[in-house]
Structure 1
């Protein structure tokens, strides 16, 4: 950990969350991976009792009023027990709460944030649909006005927490006569309104998070449950990209860290050709590569946290968050593979948890926006940024620093 970057308060938070993670029994972890636990309600309830849910939520609504720097410190520690611990924790306490904090009314903040932060109620975000996930504006879920209410019809799938959530943050088309970005509304739908979970997915990894298909069949939602403005979900969606993708990247570091630690310890004990295998460059260079990858990932996360917390340019933050989600998840996937390679055959068994960590890691590059979508965002924001630089003429024109830079006959663009 980068203690030298932390304040005493941040170190205390790290130690607090580290101790809390240690208190979770191995049986609980194993039962989640075996799908004996469908959704970790007991774990989240205990998080709420310890005031660990909604760290960035203002204190008056039950949170701690902290920033992203503190959040990613906590996420790394909480995810050491498994990626799905962070997924369920992050969805209910970081993602859904983000929408309510920034766009909810005072009444909505009191009604929803306080019980979520206490661990008394749990929330899920309903974004992905059967026809696809990354195409947010292609949603086919419909909300039809009926008096003061809306009648919601549609399906969402791969919803983390779908099996156990009490609240569902749902995006639905409310106006089909306008372009999609002007006709989608965000709702907070309560399970008791008639939400159905009709399928629980059998996942390769990241089990125990209640990942389900959620169905809305003529669900009546009162207008008081509209988050933000009617037909105004676009700014909410863009705001949600930060906790979705930044949180995902940060928690991945914690989820893969045990693989490196286990492989490191194993290499100092396992012997081959008369000496411990950490003496062979074929092994210790893999450890060095894994360490470098994790340190680089942390550096990226910490600087992005500072950018978001300081109110840096939103387009820059959007680029950094997207870069982080893609880069960190891919590097952490490499760390899991490097660790398994160091372990050899035993790493491919359930004698060590490396195989579980590797299974869990594969999700990180897919959910909350695939890494290919992250590239779309990064290149777009970068080109726009470069266009502004050229227009402002604030940087040296390095193109001219070549011997024949002014040979225009050789510079043919069409």
Structure 2
């Protein structure tokens, strides 16, 4: 678990979160996966009572004033519970990020504080039926009216929609502006004109209330505008950090959980008169898995430190994109290794590996697909290195480096 990278506060938080996770009733997980539960309100209230929600936010609003270096430690432990419970745990951190940085004092009092106390549940309304990765192509409209805005449009794949009391909604407020300059963000209460349709039959990540939102002439008071009108581009870019770091850290927990099951099984299961852990076909998969998980863990700890130290925004964008891509890809590969180690029994519901496989598959898609992560990573790196390498320029370290006639670029 690379505990040598943690300070005493982080170790204490890890143990505190681990104790909470151990105490979660397995029946909740089973009922959510079977869709007998569509939103675990009790679980969210228990997190609030344990003061585990919104760890990074000021104490005056119910947080602990911690940093990402602490939150990723807690998130990995929560990840053992699967994608739905990890995502719901993350929503106060994600939506709270926008309120804490861009919100008014009243919004912090009315929404952030109530969310961290478990009195209000929240969800982020980002994706649209025509959208997906094309965020700035949003067509949900918010038209100015006396005292506020009239909201019309749809959002889909909204985790937590079924139980949310309010939504953070992105909507177009200027049809004539450039796409990234005509979007605003709002805190929209559940009420008249806001319809939640729980319509998705999901492969995994069940029980989290993922649904579709329909806005029909919903009135949003002007005091619920989050940040500046037409200024949601800045909010969206800031939100890359919590959306992607929470996904990455939660995925690590799921990957480690799958490996834990496989290692325990490999010690007990015998073939040809000996435990299967003695066979290289098995033990090498374990070695590959733990190496990948430790590499991913190192990357996410470094990324958390990058954000906590307020590194340049471009570097933060690259690092959180790398963490999201690498950690989710790693978790997917590790859970597949785990299933291979278990063999046929791993493909049944006798073990939780098949559920973890179904859960993890989604994280490679949401909060920006991993292909979008590649796009951001290379874009930021090309910008960083446009003036050449920071260290030694090794291009000249070749016998015929001065042969310019052979260096043809066009």
TM-score calculated relative to the size of structure 1: 0.98
**Is the CA contact (8 Å cut-off) linking 1:163 and 1:200 kept in structure 2?**
no
Gaps of 5+ in 1: none
Residue number in structure 1 paired with 2:51: 51
Within 5 A, what are the aligned runs for 1:94-105? 94-105=93-104
**Matching residue within 370, 394, 413 for 2:409:** 413
1:185 aligned residue: 184
Partner of 2:393: 397
1:167 and 2:166 matched: yes
Q: Provide the rounded CA distance (Å) in 1 between the counterparts of 2:191 and 2:154.
A: 17
- What CA distance in whole angstroms lies between the structure 1 residues aligned with 2:79 and 2:41? 16
2:139 is matched with 140
Q: Deviations over 1:29-87 (max 9, x none)?
A: 10011111101111001101111111111111111111001100000111211121111
For residue 13 of structure 1, report the CA deviation from its aligned partner: 0.7
CA displacement 1:81-101 (0-9 Å, x = unmatched): 11211111112x211000000
* Aligned: 1:306 with 2:305: yes
**Which of structure 1's runs of 4+ aligned residues deviate more than 3 A?**
none
Q: Is the 8 A contact 2:251 2:327 kept in 1?
A: yes
- How many aligned residue pairs are there? 410
**What CA distance in whole angstroms lies between the structure 1 residues aligned with 2:185 and 2:388?**
36
Alignment partners' CA distance in 1, 2:369 and 2:6: 31
User: Any conservation in 1 of the 2:255–2:330 contact (CA below 8 Å)?
Assistant: no
What CA distance in whole angstroms lies between the structure 2 residues aligned with 1:162 and 1:80? 23
Q: Deviations over 1:313-364 (max 9, x none)?
A: 1101100110111111001100000000000011011110110000001001
- What secondary structure does 1:255 align onto? helix
Query: How far apart are 1:396 and its partner, in Å?
Result: 2.0
Greater Cα shift, 116-125 or 394-403: 394-403
Tell me by how many angstroms 1:365 deviates.
Answer: 0.4
- Whether contact under 8 Å (2:173, 2:230) holds in the other structure is yes
| Partner of residue 231, structure 1 | 230
Offset of 1:395 from its aligned partner? 2.9
8 Å CA contact retained: 1:167, 1:188: yes
**Cα-to-partner distance string for 1:292-320 (whole Å, 9 max, x where unaligned):** 11111100000000010001111011001
Q: Secondary structure at the match of 2:80?
A: helix
Q: CA deviation at 1:199?
A: 3.4
Tell me how far apart the structure 2 counterparts of residues 82 and 398 of structure 1 sit (CA, whole Å).
46
Deviations 1:367-396 (CA, angstroms, capped at 9, x unpaired): 010001001100100000011446xxx532
Contact 2:198 2:209 in 1 (8 A): no
Conserved in 2, the CA contact under 8 Å of 1:193 and 1:221?
A: no
Give the match for residue 255 of structure 2.
256
Q: Normalized against structure 2, the TM-score is what?
A: 0.99
Distance 2:197 2:267 in 1: 49
- The 8 Å contact of residues 200 and 210 in structure 1, kept in 2 or not, is answered as no
**Offset, 1:254:** 0.7
Give 1:220 shift: 0.3
**Residues 13-412 of structure 1 aligned to structure 2 (within 5 Å):** 13-91=13-91, 93-389=92-388, 394-412=390-408
Residue 193 (structure 1) shift: 4.4
Distance 1:36 1:191 in 2: 23
